[in-house]
Structure 1
Amino acid sequence: MSGSLAQIKAELASARKAWEEGNEGQARVCARRAVSRALTHWRIRRGEPPLPGDTLAHLRWIQQQTQFPREVVLAAQRLSTKVTERDRAPFSIDPIADARLIIDALLSTAMP
């Protein structure tokens, strides 16, 4: 999955549109894809290859990284929780906000 800034913005816009239309599932999918694209952008900017795997694999990778701020790791955890597990695990009630938090951290110059 490529990670241009335009693609990240497009995924977030799609997430917002789906959310406003009451399609929470599609909003979560788009929010996850936006994070995945931002992670790819971040890695390429650092001279690293994109990670293999799907968007959930990318969210799990973020959760395992100690260099990311705790709030980023927790947002990735909430965003990766399946809807069917929402009562048993941390779950994002606002997937777009969680995605924005992660994306903002990845795109900031302060990130390691």
Structure 2
Amino acid sequence: MKWSLRKHAEQGIRHLGSSRILGYNEVGGVLVPNQDSWIVRVIFEDYAAGLYPIEIHRHLRDLGVANSSTKRITGAGNMRKVLDNEVYMGDRIIQNGPDRDATQH
């Protein structure tokens, strides 16, 4: 498993581990925006404007937002998860620890 992850990483192939990333579809290890990507943009714009997650949820509800796959509004408790999500933040760690070979040199 580790070998295949390393080989895929060398080839630039990244599997994100979830096919349910709000606003994006994974196609060949690359995130491609879908019809819900504007929802993620609103979440981050509202947060940058100083709104709390509960206020962001209310704003989305007022806009009548519903995820196209689940037909629901992302819950207020999930706003923080979206804001902290490593996929959206660009901090995706493919391998959670140092390569053992690298630490032995």
Q: Over alpha carbons, which structure has the higher Rg?
A: 2
Whose strand fraction is larger, Structure 1's or Structure 2's?
A: 2
Flag the structure with more relative contact order, 1 or 2, with Cα contacts below 8 A and sequence separation at least 6.
Answer: 1
Shorter-chain TM-score above 0.5? no
Normalization by structure 1: what TM-score? 0.29
Whose helix fraction is larger, Structure 1's or Structure 2's?
A: 1
